[in-house]
C-alpha cells in the first residue's frame, strides 16, 4: 500500500495512472473483501458472557453449551456468573459494559419482562439499555396437582379444576417460588382468566414450593416442566395443562391451558443481548454465530434433555418479542399487586 505522499505525487504526475490505481484498489476490495475489512468482533479477543444467575441452573447450562459451540466462529467465550436481586445485578453489568461486542449476556423473562414492573427501583432500563442478539430457548411451564389430591377431589382435567374452584370458593391454594416469581404470576393470570380464587402461598424458591406440593400442603402450582417432569412420570404429580400457546412435544398428551382459556400463554424464555450502543455489524456477526449454534442438530439434542426448545431469531424479532412480553407482564404484575422494594 502506497503512503499518502506517494499517492499525492502519483496524482500530480499522471492523473490517468492515479485513476487506474484507484480502480485497481476498488477491484481488489470487491474481489477480496476480507483483505481490507476487519472482523466486527476483534479476532483473538475473549468474549465475556454474563449469566445473571448462579452456576448449575438451566440458563447457566445452556449458556455454557452455546459458549463452547461458537468457539470456532467467535473464539473463546467465558461465562461470568453475576447472580443477585432477581437477576438485576448481572443484567445491569451487561447494560453498563463497553459496547464493543466483547461483553454480552443473558436476557431472561425475569430480567427483561417481569422485574421492570416488580421492583420499585431498577438499575437499568430493560427497553433501552440493551441490543438484542437472538432469543435462545423457551421452556414450557406446566400446571400440576398433587396426584393424591387430584384423585380425592376427582379432578382429571383443567376444566375439572376450574369447576371445583367455582363450586368451592377459597378452598384451593397454590404454591410458588415467591412473590413476583414466574409461578406466582402464572397463577394470577390463570385465576383472572378462569374467574376463580385460589390462595397464593409463596415459598423461598422453587424447590421448597415443589416439596410443599408433593407433601400435600398445597393443591397445585405452575412449575417448570424440566423440574416437574420426573415427578409427573413417577405419578406423584398430575399434569393438567402446559402453559405454552400450543401443546409441548415433551408432553404431547397434555393439553395447553389455551385449549380451555383462549389466549393463555406464559412460559420461561431467555436469550442473548449486548449493551445498547453495540455496532450493528457486531450484532450481526454475533447473531450469525449463535443462530448457527442453536440450529446445530447436536445442540438441539442437548436442549431436549433440558426440555428446552431452541428459538433462533433475528435481533429485530427478539427485540419485538421482549417488548410484547414486557407489555403482557406489566398487566399481570400490576393485577397481582406483587412488589419488591
pLDDT in tens, 96-144: 999 999 999 999 999 999 999 999 999 999 999 999 999 999 988 999 9
Length of the chain in residues, anyone? 341
Residues 62 and 303: beta-carbon distance below 8 Å: yes
pLDDT of residue 5: 41
pLDDT of residue 41: 74
pLDDT tier at 6 (50, 70, 90 boundaries)? very low
pLDDT of residue 307: 86
pLDDT in tens, 288-335: 999 999 999 999 989 988 888 999 999 999 999 999 999 999 998 998
pLDDT of residue 305: 85
Q: At residue 38, does pLDDT exceed 60?
A: no
pLDDT in tens, 242-289: 998 889 988 999 999 999 999 999 889 999 999 999 999 999 999 999
The topology (CATH level 3) of 141-259 is D-Maltodextrin-Binding Protein; domain 2 (3.40.190)
Closest alpha carbon to 311 in 109, 78, 125: 109
Residues 61 and 74: their CA atoms lie apart, in Å, by 19
Report helix, strand or coil for 293: helix
Mean pLDDT value across the chain:
88
pLDDT tier at 340 (50, 70, 90 boundaries)? confident
pLDDT of residue 108: 96
Half-sphere exposure of 93 (CA within 13 A, CB side): 20
Which sequence spans correspond to the domains of the chain? 4-35, 47-139+269-336, 141-259
The topology (CATH level 3) of 47-139+269-336 is D-Maltodextrin-Binding Protein; domain 2 (3.40.190)
pTM over cut 0.75: yes
- Please tell me if the domain spanning 47-139+269-336 has the same topology as the one spanning 141-259: yes
pLDDT in tens, 207-219: 899 999 999 999 9
Amino acid at each position: 500500500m502506497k503512503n499518502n505522499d506517494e499517492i499525492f505525487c502519483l496524482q500530480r504526475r499522471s492523473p490517468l495512472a492515479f485513476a487506474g490505481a484507484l480502480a485497481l484498489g476498488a477491484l481488489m476490495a470487491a474481489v477480496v473483501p476480507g483483505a481490507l475489512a476487519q472482523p466486527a468482533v476483534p479476532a483473538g479477543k475473549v468474549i465475556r458472557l454474563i449469566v445473571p444467575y448462579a452456576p448449575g441452573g438451566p440458563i447457566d447450562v445452556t449458556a455454557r453449551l452455546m459458549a463452547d459451540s461458537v468457539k470456532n466462529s467467535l473464539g473463546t467465550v467465558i461465562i461470568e456468573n453475576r447472580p443477585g436481586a432477581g437477576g438485576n445485578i448481572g443484567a445491569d453489568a451487561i447494560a453498563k459494559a463497553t459496547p464493543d461486542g466483547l461483553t454480552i449476556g443473558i436476557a431472561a423473562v425475569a430480567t427483561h419482562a417481569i422485574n421492570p414492573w416488580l421492583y420499585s427501583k431498577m438499575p437499568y432500563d430493560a427497553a433501552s439499555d440493551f441490543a438484542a442478539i437472538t432469543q435462545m430457548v423457551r421452556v414450557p411451564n406446566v400446571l400440576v396437582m398433587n396426584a393424591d389430591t387430584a384423585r380425592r377431589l376427582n379432578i382429571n382435567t383443567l376444566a375439572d379444576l376450574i369447576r371445583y374452584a367455582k363450586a368451592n370458593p377459597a378452598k384451593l391454594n397454590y404454591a410458588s417460588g415467591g412473590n413476583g416469581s414466574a409461578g406466582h404470576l402464572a397463577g394470577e393470570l390463570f385465576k383472572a382468566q378462569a374467574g376463580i380464587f385460589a390462595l397464593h402461598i409463596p415459598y423461598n424458591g422453587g424447590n421448597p414450593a415443589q416439596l410443599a406440593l408433593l407433601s400435600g400442603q398445597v393443591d397445585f402450582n405452575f412449575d417448570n416442566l424440566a423440574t416437574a417432569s420426573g415427578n409427573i412420570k413417577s405419578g406423584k404429580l398430575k399434569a393438567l395443562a402446559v402453559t405454552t400457546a400450543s401443546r409441548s412435544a415433551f408432553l404431547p398428551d397434555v393439553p395447553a391451558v389455551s385449549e380451555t382459556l383462549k389466549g393463555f400463554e406464559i412460559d420461561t424464555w431467555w436469550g442473548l443481548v449486548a449493551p445498547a450502543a453495540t455496532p450493528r455489524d457486531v450484532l450481526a456477526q454475533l447473531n450469525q454465530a449463535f443462530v448457527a449454534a442453536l440450529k446445530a442438530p447436536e445442540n438441539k439434542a442437548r436442549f431436549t434433555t433440558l426440555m428446552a426448545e431452541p428459538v433462533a431469531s433475528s435481533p429485530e424479532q427478539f427485540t419485538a418479542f421482549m417488548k410484547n412480553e414486557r407489555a403482557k407482564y406489566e398487566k399481570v404484575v400490576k393485577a397481582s399487586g406483587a412488589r419488591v422494594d
